[in-house]
């Protein structure tokens, strides 16, 4: 199994993914900011590399450290005190360096429902609450799509941290809305990494029991 390099693994979906992959015996590297808690990711058995995704030199150092063909997942999100966003700038730094090193087998970017072609179907409430973050994530998606790497984009609905339900699905319907638990998103990302049919796809991730759509949804047929 190739090593997995995760950006955004100090908590949330990234941490859940690291736990799942480590439990399968996979080597996991994780970039964690200097001031952030690396307790969870360290306990999961990942190799913690300190650095900030908003600094391109830190990202370059991470890839130099890994030094072999790997898969990359980014769940980066959020804004620093000076207004810069990991959603676009941080992710773009990671994508650019992954492209430059040339040894990336799969790149999975976790963004959000509402990105890209889903934008026209956002509610006014969603635009007011998360519009800027979602637009920034769309810019990162666009950069990844033109990178030449084997990319997959996973766009979760509203997240919560309860245990997995096992009902997570992926869909390419731009009008789907819904919610999903972080553990279920991590499971879908893990399966997407193993399923070449997801290469070149941008897919929403929702819980089949907590979603709505204007038409019947046919889930993307991902490997179990």
Ligand X SMILES: NC(=O)c1ccc[n+]([C@@H]2O[C@H](COP(=O)([O-])OP(=O)(O)OC[C@H]3O[C@@H](n4cnc5c(N)ncnc54)[C@H](OP(=O)(O)O)[C@@H]3O)[C@@H](O)[C@H]2O)c1
**Binding-site ranges for ligand X (CB under 6 A):** 8, 10-14, 31, 33, 36, 52-54, 75-78, 86, 90, 110, 112, 156, 158-159, 182
Residue 39 is encoded by which pair of tokens? 């307790």
How far is it, in rounded angstroms, from Cα 197 to Cα 61?
31
- Alpha carbon of 54 to those of 40, 94, 115, 216: distances in Å? 22, 9, 21, 41
- Whole-number minimum distance, CB 215 to ligand X, in Å? 22
- Whole-number minimum distance, CB 55 to ligand X, in Å? 8
- Closest to ligand X by CB, 8 or 168: 8
- Whole-number minimum distance, CB 1 to ligand X, in Å? 23
- Closest to ligand X by CB, 90 or 174: 90
| Contact call for residues 17 and 186 (beta carbons, < 8 A) | yes
To which H or E segment does residue 98 belong? Answer: helix 91-101
- Closest to ligand X by CB, 33 or 139: 33
DSSP per-residue string spanning 70-83: EEEEE----B-TTS
Residue nearest to ligand X (CB): 12
Residues 6+ apart with CB under 8 A from 178: 113, 157, 158, 204, 206, 207, 210, 211, 212
How many Cβ atoms sit within 10 Å of the Cβ of residue 184? 26
- Closest to ligand X by CB, 130 or 221: 130
- Closest to ligand X by CB, 79 or 224: 79
Backbone angles phi, psi at 129, to 5 degrees: -80, -45
- Closest to ligand X by CB, 34 or 124: 34
- Whole-number minimum distance, CB 88 to ligand X, in Å? 11
- Whole-number minimum distance, CB 112 to ligand X, in Å? 4
| Contact call for residues 51 and 33 (beta carbons, < 8 A) | yes
- Whole-number minimum distance, CB 82 to ligand X, in Å? 11
> Which residues is 71 bridged to in the sheet?
4, 106
How far is it, in rounded angstroms, from Cα 137 to Cα 132?
9
- Whole-number minimum distance, CB 69 to ligand X, in Å? 23
- Closest to ligand X by CB, 85 or 106: 85
């Amino acid at each position: 199994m190739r090593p997995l390099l995760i950006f955004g693994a100090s908590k949330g979906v990234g941490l859940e993914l690291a736990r799942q992959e480590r439990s399968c015996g996979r080597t996991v590297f994780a970039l964690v900011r200097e001031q952030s808690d690396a307790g969870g990711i360290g306990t999961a058995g990942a190799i913690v590399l300190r650095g900030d995704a908003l600094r391109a030199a830190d990202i370059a150092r991470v890839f130099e450290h890994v030094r072999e063909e790997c898969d990359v997942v980014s769940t980066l999100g959020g804004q620093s005190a000076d207004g810069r966003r990991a959603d676009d700038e941080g992710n773009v730094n990671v994508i650019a360096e992954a492209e430059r090193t040339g040894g990336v087998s799969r790149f999975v970017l976790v963004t959000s429902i509402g990105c890209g072609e889903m934008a026209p179907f956002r509610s006014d409430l969603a635009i007011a609450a998360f519009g800027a973050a979602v637009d920034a994530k769309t810019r990162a998606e666009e950069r990844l799509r033109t990178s030449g790497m084997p990319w997959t984009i996973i766009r979760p609905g509203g997240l919560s941290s309860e245990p997995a339900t096992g009902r997570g699905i992926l869909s390419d319907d731009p009008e789907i809305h819904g919610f999903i638990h972080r553990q279920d998103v991590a499971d879908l990302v893990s399966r997407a990494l193993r399923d070449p049919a997801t290469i070149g796809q941008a897919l929403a991730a929702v819980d089949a029991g907590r979603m709505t759509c204007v038409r019947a949804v046919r889930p993307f047929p991902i490997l179990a």
